[in-house]
Structure 1
Amino acid sequence: MGTFVVPDQHGVCARRTLAWLRAGLLATVALFVTGLPAAAQDATWVLNPTESGPNPGTADYNNVANWTPATVPIGTATFGVTNSSSLSFSASSTSVGGWTFNAGASAYTFTLGEVFFGRTLTFNGAGIVINGGSATINSITDHAPSEIQFLNASTAGSATINNSGTLSFSDSSSAGSATIVNDSFTGSAIGFSNTSTAGNAAITNNWTLQFGDNSTAGNASIRNNFFMDFFNASTAGNARIIENGFLVFHDTSTAGNATITNNGGSGMRFQDSSTAGNATIINNFDLAFVNSSTAGNATITTNSGGTTSIQDTASGGTARFILNGTGALDISGLTTGGTTAGSIEGGGNILLGANTLTVGGNDLSTTFSGVITPVSGVFSGTGGLIKVGTGTLTLTGINTYTGGTTFSSGTLSVSGDANLGDFSGRLIFDGGTLEVSGAGFTSSRAVQIGSNGGTVQADTGSLALSGVIADLGGATGAVTKTGNGTLVLSGNNTYSGGTIINAGMLQLSGAGTLGAASATTTVNGGGTLDLGGTTQTQAALKLAGGTLQNGSLNGAITSTGGTIDGLGGAASLNATAGTTLVLGTNTFTGGTTVSNATLTVNGSLSDPTIAAGGLLNGTGSVGDTTIQSGGTFAPGSGTPGTSMTVNGNLAFQSGALYLVAVNPSTASFANVSGAATLGGASVNATFANGSYISKQYTILSAGSVSGTFGTLTNVNLPANFSDTLSYDATHAYLNLALNFTPPPSAPNYGRGLSIKQQNVANTLVNYFNTTGGIPMVYGTLTPSGLTQASGELATGSQQTTFDAMNLFLGLLTDPFMNRNGGVASASGAPSYAEEGDTNAYAATRKTNAYAMFTKAPPIPFVPRWSVWAAGYGGSQSTSGNAVVGSNDTTSSVYGTAVGADYLFSPNTIAGFALAGGGTNFSVVNSDSGRSDLFQAGAYIRHIEGAAYITAALAYGWQDITTNRTVTAAGLDQLRAEFNANTYSGRLEGGYRFVAPWAGGLGITPYAAGQFTTFDLPGYAEQALVGSSAFALAYAAKSVTDVRSELGFRTDKSFAMADGVLTLRTRFAWVHDYDPDRSIAATFQALPGASFVVNGAAQASDSALTTASVEMKWLNGWSAAATFEGEFSDVTSSYAGKGVVRYTW
């Protein structure tokens, strides 16, 4: 498109209108100045005007008779209700400060001018204020022009103005919210000058509308149907302009923030130094920027059929250009070689000619799907594209410009080579980014790198550049690769600024190079340099978290972390920080040094040297390896059982550290094919948590081992274990020893173990030493855990059983329990018979006054039966022993017995009894047990003079249940159920004599022997809750407890009205010949792990006391109650029994 030319008629019209406006304004000002009254006059339009105006049907505005007071106002003219609201002007010039229309005013019409006579109306004060009614001014130009002027700060208010002459706004006046129609009559003009504004007016221009000086279109709504002009420093403000004619901006005028729709006519034009400012322009026709004008920061939308052209030395500024349909942006008419555009978007066309378009200054991110072409009409050229700004420009069209593409800043995104113009165009990088989206493409373009470098961002696909990448002039910028896709270089590149790979992959192919051999390549985290099987030479390669793979490299590699995979050549590796991972087969020959960094070899690597602060680990293989002082070798992955192979020799220096990881079954280790020189290096063993632990671990295997390791330390070594090192000709071992003896620290402070704890500890240690390992739950037992594990509760049933049988035998043989049945009383009381025997009492009294107590006269002897029933029970507490490790125990027994006696002779009685009851027993750690009890026994008693002898045998059967809680490794509840048998016997003899005290006190010294045999079966515990790790199996055992008693009994009887009351006591020394309570136990989960558990032992000697009361009635019934106590330094036992008997 050529230079835009304004049609002549518009130019003539514009010049003529401007001349009229200027002449009118000068004349008006002159008249105003010379005719200014001394003081303003105000008046009100009358209700019934009498004087007619020059126009038919109107009243005369300039006749004083029509005003109150009778003067034509030059200050404020006030209008209300009137019967004549059509006014015309008889004076050639009328000046007034303003018109005020009161509320309720009529609708007024003012006609200015008549045939052959033009009129002038000037507002120089407030202007038009409409509070009610309305005001319409019709300016008539018929052979002579009429003129309406607004001066000073006057306003047109909300009036309606139909202009056929000249309407001018000067000074700071405003069109207010008026409705203004500029007639199409030749010469009709509206002008704004000085700082006047169109306000919020609605203006329809059918001829000429001009803004000059510093005036503004304000917020007006303007429809231009012919000619509209902004000149000087005027502005379109925030106006809404519909352009159907010709709209031009001159001088330094601006479109401001206006919204302009250009529909046709002669279009729009910015010329001189005018600017589109921040306007929003919708261009449906022609929009031209000429001379040195600029599109500013406007938003310009060019739709189908429209063209926006930038010509001469004009500029696109930082405008946003939106091209829809066939809309075009044409810069081919520029004489400057190019221009700028803030952004481009849409699907239209951009015509470059020989010019370059620089895009991106507004930093927006946009997409342009149209065509950028060098062709424009008859013009064609080598125009190019430069991307600037921080935004992203996405090109999706098939572009044909030939001047190449420059990436200065921001991002230019494409999906194909055709998006970058003709293939002959080069790519110049000088700080910008080329983004490749989609699957990618191949390009043979020449590429140049400026001093600011360039970035290629391949998102998902790949970009293959086969052209040569070279420096731009003498620049030394770097090539940077970003994005997760791949950049493939196959050209013999010569750029010297180096290569930086931040993400994705840079791959070399064929003759591709990394530029000059003197350059430096950096591979950052997330980036991969794939040498593609080529050999590259670089002054240095910095591995900073990325991956280097697949080829040969000549140069020094400095690694602060990253991955090396399949690298050959003469490269050297110096790892100085982070972790460098080695994968695949690596054959580079320059050597490897690690200091203050980690080298993880899961592939193969030759001859590393690990200096101070360095760490070598992994599961791969290395050549001859040296671990210097301060260096660390940790073979394997850190998981016990993994290893590293040293294909050669391994040498530790003094001060080096060897790390091994240990779990229950294995340890990490080094497998050395050559010689391993241990050099006094320290060893640190880290133990993983587990359920099992072994006695010995192999931590190094070699062709030969020389020297020894130095200090051994450990981490997380389980409690109770200690570690040592040992060696043979080809191995180094880590050995563990188990020892439960508490250390000299809290909470035991080296107090050692009790006998019971030591028994458990000894069997666990023996199991560990014998089998080579032990479950951790046993190996880490504390002293309190050993106590819980011992199963001491199992001994509780023994003493409880002995107590139960002792009570039962005492019930059978105790002479205090009225068990004589009348022995020796039928033939007179022998010297043994107590006074309480009714027969004995009656026979030995000096009088027969008490004969009434007998039911019949004595008979020589009658064999007879008697039956009885008794209840018994008791409890015992025994203190534990700290040395033995036994706990305090408690037990209780209860039962009921029934029996029958038969009197064989005056001196002999025998009988039997059956009993049923139960027992309970517990230890202080909440373990407890119980049993159901059955007992049966027989007894015999014979009296000879004052002496007696008693014997009894008894049998007991129990159904026993134990419940044990172990909290050493969680909460385990263990239960055992079993049956046991008991056998018992007692033999007692004594001699009674009567002491002279208290009216005769019976004293019977006696001696007794008693045994109880408890047959315990073998039985085992089962877990009700938790684990069965501590469930024990107990061995069968027969326990016999023998005791003796030596003491005396006393008795004293009292005659009662219906019988005899007898009080008795006993005092005796008891000796227990087998006071210990123990049982053999085995951990069910550890076959062979047996031990003896000791319970609370009884005292060997104790004191026995008894107190009894008995009542015998003459009717054959008798009852007795006894309380017993047995006491020692460790035992307190209390028991009671009661019997009821009937004899016939």
Structure 2
Amino acid sequence: AKIWTQGDNSSGIFAQSVGGGGGSGGFAGSLGIGLGGGGLGVSVGGSGGAASNAGTVAVTSYNNILTNGKDSFGILAQSVGGGGGNGGFAIALSGSKDLAGSVGVGGSGTSGGDANIVTVDSHGNIETDGDGSHAIFVQSVGGGGGNGGFAVSGSLGGTGSLSVALGGGGGAGGDAKSVTVTSTGNLRTEGGKADGILAQSVGGGGGNGGFTGALAIVGDGGAIGVGVGGTGGGGGDGDVVTATSIGNIVTIKANSNGILAQSVGGGGGVVTAGTDGIIEAVNGGSGNGGKVTINSNVAMVITGDNSVGVFGQSIGGGGGVGGHVGNFLGLEQASVMPTPQGFSGSAGGSGTGGGIEFTQTADLDVTGKNSFALMEQSAGGTSNGDIKVTIATGVKITGGSGAGAGVNFKDGNNNLLTNNGLVRSVLLIDGYAMRGGDGNDTFDNYFATVGSVGLGGGLNTFNNKATALYLMGDTVDLGLTGQLNNDGLAAPGGLDRVMTTEVNGSWSQAATGVYLLDLDLDPEADRIDVTGTADVNGFVNINIMEPGAASPGNENYIILHALGGVTDKGLKLNSIPSAVAQYSLKYPNPEDVVLNVDINFARAGLTENQTAVGSAINAIQTDLTSPNFTKIASAIFYIPTLDQLGAVYDTISGEGVSGFQQPEFDANSTFQAAMNRQSDAWRMGMATDPMIQSVAVPETAYAEPPGKANPFDDMVKAPDERRWNYWATAGGNSGVVSGDPVVGSAGLGYKSGNFAAGLDSQGDPDILMGFALGGVASSFAVPDRETSGNIVGGHAGAYGARKWGQFYINGSLAMDLYSNTTDRFTSVPGAPDPLNPVPAISREHWTGDFMSAGFGTTLEAGWRQPVGSGAITPFAGLQFSALSMQGFSEESADGGALGLDFEHRTIISLPVSLGLQLDTSVAVGETATLQAWGRAAWLHEFRPDRSVEPTFQAAPGYAFVVQGAAAAQDAVAVNAGVKLNWSSNTSVFATFDGKFADRVQTYGGNVGFRVNW
């Protein structure tokens, strides 16, 4: 079923028991207008009847209720002792040119009888949309009065104006009884001053004090507007108030609470004065407040200003809560004239405030200005009761901005907030999690608290338990004698926000405690300033906010300062391991704890190549002008060990690209060796040219009989006029060059195929000159740097030889041009462990395409000494080669962060050799000759380095040099070959070459032919 009312003062369900008769008081209206001396309008509403006790009121509703209108409650249930019920309604208006006075007095309930028990059990949804329209309004009011009279007065005056409105007061005496509200449906109010549940047990009269409006307007004189809520009479006690809500509660506008539960002894309740009215506690009666129990199993959304999610209040000695319109909680000044900021508490009569105890088991979302998710108060003229509030596990408590907070304890005695959920305000770190009053407040945080805390003037303690998190605002005010005990995790400013937190009181961190420190390498860090003493144990956990902004150097940060002195009881650092950053704690004076941070991307213990990379990064991070490098620096920052850091430097260095150099030097040497081998064959008489070849004369028909010498046997056949020789050769070679652990270079492997062809001429019996062309195709790999490449090149050269008897000099020169392609794979691991995890730079593929050019020359001198059928030739040689690479930029089809630009660079090779050659020849058949030779030499390289000069594409302008696998400084070079002269003008040959050293091994072979004409 559904109940729907329209119009003001039209409640869905109205259940009332009023002792002594009277019911609702009368209505009065008055108007006075004066143009001369003044005008006065007075209106007095009727009062309730004489005293007697009220009966019980019980409402059970399964209806959905909707009301449209002001002061139209979903359910209104009252038990009012002593008569009166709803006080009278009065209006007074007066106007005058010089003086206007207007008085409106609502009717009062008479004194006497007790109220009785009121019970409401609602199972339907209730929605109201008018101002002052509570969803459920339940009262037990002793001593008469009920709802105090409604009074409105207004006055207009040219010179002066006075306007007074008095709500009807409850009669004296009677006690209130218990009030119990249970709501399982959803409650929603859309008007101002409209609570979800308002439950009151008010002893001594008063009930809901009269609503008053006061207006005074003058042209040039003074104006006084006074609104006084109805007061309870003396005597009666409030009783137990129990409010249980299971459905959701939503209130939209200002001054609208989710649940307001009051037990007031001695009169009072809720008072709302006019727009600029004076709020004043009048005639506080004697009486005790009862216990207030709230079972809030409901999620609430409270959006209006000056509102509370769950407001529990137990007042002795008269009182309650009041404020002017738009300022229900009294946290803002009136807008026209200075007024008190409102009233909440005891009016000062004799009596005690009762205890307040409840558990919040559902979320509260209270977002308005000067609003609280939870506000609890126990106050009495004689003494205050204890407040105990528990927030259940997983529950989120969110309070408002301005002077609001998540939780507010007012007065009380020994108060305890136990938080197993989350307490915060809408401003988070910049707001207040909790505010306190003059009671002794203890805040036990077992899970999470966010924001500042201000606990007033009592003996206060904040206990951050071992399982808890406290994200501290800029203020933790516990009073001078207060204590913050951190057994859990405390973080000024929360995560990733540097803040200085001022702690008024003392600080103690246990062995389980953690100070979570945000460190911004800009540089600044979190700090805690304590007015008292500080005992420090446990840990300082360092959270690096922007590791990509880490700049090399040494910095000191004051992280805790205590005016009363610091006592170190075992404080330790806890940080994510980093080979780049080193941390330490220092105590330079009795008041300070200092964090020392040393950052260096090129620490001692790295290889030469790794140091080159680290030094470049130091330069980049010192300047911090390369934002694209931030991602790389962040990942590098958290590499835990020096060995791992070096390995990362190796993979990002581009060292492997230098692998093209040694194959190209070898290709140049192989080409020149092919040319010089023709000179060797010529000068050793091993060529096919008949001018340098001895041939036996064949026997004739006129030969002497056997046994008799032929006189022509020793004659030499006349040489042919053959001066030109053509030759060609093809072969391959491979090499392995080990890296250097000190330099930090990686091993290189390569293989090549080559060919060469040339033409030479003997213009003089002692001089040979020739030229040649050649080509090469090579590949190389540097596995430890995940780099490989391919080379295609060509050669052009000239060679020559000169003999002076047994002494000779031969030489060659060659020019080379190469096309190079490279493939490089690289990555940097991430760091999942920091509070702000750093993602890995996953495996990237970068390619290069560039040209290089080489030039080389050789010179060899020796002495050929015939021995038997062969010869021994000692020799010495010198070779100079230069290889120039084109600058280029790597490319990646998938993009990436780790690409490199390589600078133009020229590499030099300068080996010298000293060796010995043996050669011989034997006849094969009648016309062929087989010739063989072998040579070995000691080879010393003066310029063994092979290097490249890259820069990070993410940080242009910071070049560094890294060394690749170097040539052997000292090696043994061997060459051996055979040549078959199988006709007078044609020969074929095969050769083997090798070079051997500690870290170098190369092998090669060629075959070829030579033709002369």
TM-score above 0.5, yes or no: yes
Number of equivalent positions: 713
User: CA 1:428–1:557 in 2, change beyond 3 Å: closer, same or farther?
Assistant: closer
- Give the AA of the match of 2:867: A
Deviation track 1:909-959 (CA, whole Å, cap 9, x = no partner) reads 101112222222211223112222121111111233333321111111222
Task: Work out the CA distance in 2 between the residues paired with 1:713 and 1:1052.
Answer: 82
| Aligned positions of 1:682-693 closer than 5 A | 684-687=540-543, 692-693=548-549
Deviation at 1:605, TM superposition (A): 2.1
Deviation at 1:1013, TM superposition (A): 1.9
| 1:1048–1:1066 CA contact under 8 A, matched in 2 | yes
1:983 corresponds to 2:836: no
| Aligned positions of 1:28-427 closer than 5 A | 407=58, 414-415=65-66
Deviation at 1:576, TM superposition (A): 3.9
- Give the AA of the match of 2:685: A
1:893 corresponds to 2:752: yes
- Give the AA of the match of 2:517: V
Deviation track 1:369-397 (CA, whole Å, cap 9, x = no partner) reads 9999xxxxxxxxxxxxxxxxxxxxxxxxx
User: CA 1:474–1:921 in 2, change beyond 3 Å: closer, same or farther?
Assistant: closer
1:581 corresponds to 2:375: no
1:872 corresponds to 2:702: no
In structure 1, the residue matched to 2:799 is 939
CA RMSD after TM alignment: 5.1
| 1:1078–1:1094 CA contact under 8 A, matched in 2 | yes
- Give the AA of the match of 1:890: G
In structure 1, the residue matched to 2:609 is 756
Task: Work out the CA distance in 1 between the residues paired with 2:443 and 2:199.
Answer: 39
User: CA 1:767–1:728 in 2, change beyond 3 Å: closer, same or farther?
Assistant: farther
Task: Work out the CA distance in 2 between the residues paired with 1:965 and 1:536.
Answer: 74
- Runs of 5+ consecutive residues of structure 2 not aligned to the other structure: 4-11, 16-53, 86-115, 142-175, 204-235, 251-257, 270-287, 321-327, 332-341, 347-352, 365-371, 392-396, 426-430, 704-709, 829-840
1:560 corresponds to 2:560: no
Deviation at 1:1048, TM superposition (A): 0.8
Residue number among 799, 802, 818 corresponding to 2:665 in the alignment = 802
User: CA 1:842–1:660 in 2, change beyond 3 Å: closer, same or farther?
Assistant: closer
Describe the SS at the equivalent of 1:794.
helix
| 2:694–2:716 CA contact under 8 A, matched in 1 | no
| Aligned positions of 1:441-520 closer than 5 A | 447=140, 453-457=180-184, 459-462=186-189, 469=201, 476=240, 478-483=242-247, 484-485=249-250, 486=258, 492=268, 496-502=290-296, 503=298, 504=300, 514=313, 517=316
| 1:601–1:621 CA contact under 8 A, matched in 2 | no
TM-score, normalization by structure 1: 0.53
User: CA 1:780–1:1117 in 2, change beyond 3 Å: closer, same or farther?
Assistant: farther
Task: Work out the CA distance in 2 between the residues paired with 1:863 and 1:421.
Answer: 134
Residue number among 344, 347, 372 corresponding to 1:535 in the alignment = 344
Task: Work out the CA distance in 1 between the residues paired with 2:981 and 2:939.
Answer: 31
Describe the SS at the equivalent of 1:948.
strand
Describe the SS at the equivalent of 1:619.
strand
1:842 corresponds to 2:842: no
Deviation track 1:874-905 (CA, whole Å, cap 9, x = no partner) reads 11112223343322211223222222212211
Q: Which stretch has the larger CA shift, 809-818 or 592-601?
A: 592-601
More contact order relative to length (CA 8 Å, sep ≥ 6): 2
Describe the SS at the equivalent of 1:1027.
coil
User: CA 1:844–1:627 in 2, change beyond 3 Å: closer, same or farther?
Assistant: farther
In structure 2, the residue matched to 1:1094 is 963
Describe the SS at the equivalent of 1:775.
helix
| 2:609–2:744 CA contact under 8 A, matched in 1 | yes
Describe the SS at the equivalent of 2:1005.
strand
| 1:1010–1:1043 CA contact under 8 A, matched in 2 | yes
User: CA 1:645–1:1087 in 2, change beyond 3 Å: closer, same or farther?
Assistant: same
Deviation at 1:558, TM superposition (A): 3.4
Deviation at 1:1033, TM superposition (A): 3.6
User: CA 1:478–1:643 in 2, change beyond 3 Å: closer, same or farther?
Assistant: same
In structure 1, the residue matched to 2:517 is 660
- Give the AA of the match of 2:613: V
Deviation at 1:1077, TM superposition (A): 2.8
Task: Work out the CA distance in 2 between the residues paired with 1:1037 and 1:908.
Answer: 35
Deviation at 1:812, TM superposition (A): 0.7
| 1:836–1:1054 CA contact under 8 A, matched in 2 | no
Deviation at 1:779, TM superposition (A): 2.8
Deviation track 1:136-162 (CA, whole Å, cap 9, x = no partner) reads xxxxxxxxxxxxxxxxxxxxxxxxxxx
- Give the AA of the match of 1:970: S
| 2:177–2:201 CA contact under 8 A, matched in 1 | no
Deviation at 1:862, TM superposition (A): 4.2
Describe the SS at the equivalent of 2:494.
coil
Describe the SS at the equivalent of 1:461.
strand
Q: Which stretch has the larger CA shift, 955-964 or 715-724?
A: 715-724
| Aligned positions of 1:969-980 closer than 5 A | 969-980=841-852
Deviation at 1:500, TM superposition (A): 0.8
Deviation at 1:589, TM superposition (A): 3.5
In structure 2, the residue matched to 1:775 is 633
Deviation at 1:966, TM superposition (A): 1.0
Task: Work out the CA distance in 2 between the residues paired with 1:964 and 1:508.
Answer: 65
Deviation at 1:809, TM superposition (A): 0.8
| 1:1047–1:1068 CA contact under 8 A, matched in 2 | yes
- Give the AA of the match of 2:748: T
User: CA 1:477–1:737 in 2, change beyond 3 Å: closer, same or farther?
Assistant: closer
- Give the AA of the match of 1:962: T
Task: Work out the CA distance in 2 between the residues paired with 1:963 and 1:420.
Answer: 81
In structure 1, the residue matched to 2:471 is 617
Deviation track 1:199-234 (CA, whole Å, cap 9, x = no partner) reads xxxxxxxxxxxxxxxxxxxxxxxxxxxxxxxxxxxx
- Give the AA of the match of 1:661: D
Task: Work out the CA distance in 2 between the residues paired with 1:1133 and 1:736.
Answer: 50
In structure 2, the residue matched to 1:309 is none
| 1:701–1:732 CA contact under 8 A, matched in 2 | yes
Task: Work out the CA distance in 1 between the residues paired with 2:447 and 2:851.
Answer: 67
User: CA 1:1020–1:859 in 2, change beyond 3 Å: closer, same or farther?
Assistant: same
| 1:559–1:580 CA contact under 8 A, matched in 2 | no
Task: Work out the CA distance in 2 between the residues paired with 1:939 and 1:1135.
Answer: 21
TM-score, normalization by structure 2: 0.59
Deviation at 1:1059, TM superposition (A): 3.8
Describe the SS at the equivalent of 1:496.
coil
1:918 corresponds to 2:774: no
In structure 2, the residue matched to 1:1069 is 938
Task: Work out the CA distance in 2 between the residues paired with 1:552 and 1:498.
Answer: 10
Q: Percent identity?
A: 21
Deviation at 1:715, TM superposition (A): 4.2
Deviation at 1:965, TM superposition (A): 1.1
| 2:387–2:412 CA contact under 8 A, matched in 1 | yes
Task: Work out the CA distance in 1 between the residues paired with 2:969 and 2:79.
Answer: 117
Residue number among 583, 595, 598 corresponding to 1:737 in the alignment = 598
Deviation at 1:995, TM superposition (A): 3.0
Q: Which stretch has the larger CA shift, 935-944 or 966-975?
A: 966-975
| 1:632–1:659 CA contact under 8 A, matched in 2 | no
User: CA 1:733–1:1031 in 2, change beyond 3 Å: closer, same or farther?
Assistant: farther
- Give the AA of the match of 1:944: W
Task: Work out the CA distance in 2 between the residues paired with 1:423 and 1:711.
Answer: 61
Describe the SS at the equivalent of 2:896.
coil
1:594 corresponds to 2:443: yes
- Give the AA of the match of 2:665: F
